[in-house]
Amino acid sequence: MTLEVADYPRKRFGKVAEINGITSDDGPWISVREAFDITGLKSGVLLRWEEEGLISVVQDAERSQRRYLKRELEIVAEVGDDGPTNLRTLRDYVKARSDAPGVAGPPSSRAADTRQENTPEPDGSEGAVFLATLANLLRGQKLSPELVGECRLRVIRDAGSRGVAIECRRRASDGDRWWFSWGGGVWLCEADNPTEAVVQVKAALRTIGAP
């Protein structure tokens, strides 16, 4: 993370902005509320990612409102297709982009760095078993999972609420092991670690609620 101004007012550029060549000229800087509208992420999540140096921030005084770089957050949002971006996904995205310097392009091509690479179509049976296990754990957390395909699960908190989609398929880059992913294709965690998936699903459902 690059620190432009040490004290207040302060401006810090995050890694997502840096690896995509985004500067202040690519503004505007927007409020927490506008940031939520773009990403579905609450202020506490944005603060944590800002402190980790992943996203940019401007703050005029110690207790003044933080503002975030709109163009950068649009990229963050596209990394998390069919569900809000989580910390692990964003870290993976930054690492993949950092390992390939000089790569530029529209967000759609950048997001592909964290999507499923050379992944065959799910063969069903074993993935369905992993999803069934995950569904049982989610029900134990008083969530409502519904199987909407052989290897796809839709999870909501209660009737009428927004939800997230979870899939289970083999990951070619990990020796064809079974992994959970968000419905848009971004990897979530290994399928033999369903408790981690439960944690991330619960966090995702919180972030897409009202700010």
Stated pTM of the model: 0.46
Tokens for 185, please give them. Answer: 């294709």
Residue 39's contacts (CB-CB under 8 Å, 6 or more residues apart) are 46, 73, 76, 77, 80, 84, 85
pLDDT of 62 > 60? The answer is yes
**Which of the following CATH numbers is that of domain 2-113: 1.10.1660, 3.30.70, 2.30.29, 1.10.10?**
1.10.1660
- pLDDT-above-90 percentage for the chain: 15
Domain 125-207 has CATH 3.30.700: no
For 144-181, the pLDDT digits (tens) are 999 887 788 999 988 778 888 999 989 888 888 899 99
Q: 68-69 and 29-30 as β-strands: parallel, antiparallel, unpaired?
A: antiparallel
In the chain, what are the domain boundaries? 2-113, 125-207
Q: CA 143, CA 148: separation in Å to the nearest integer?
A: 16
Average pLDDT, the chain: 78
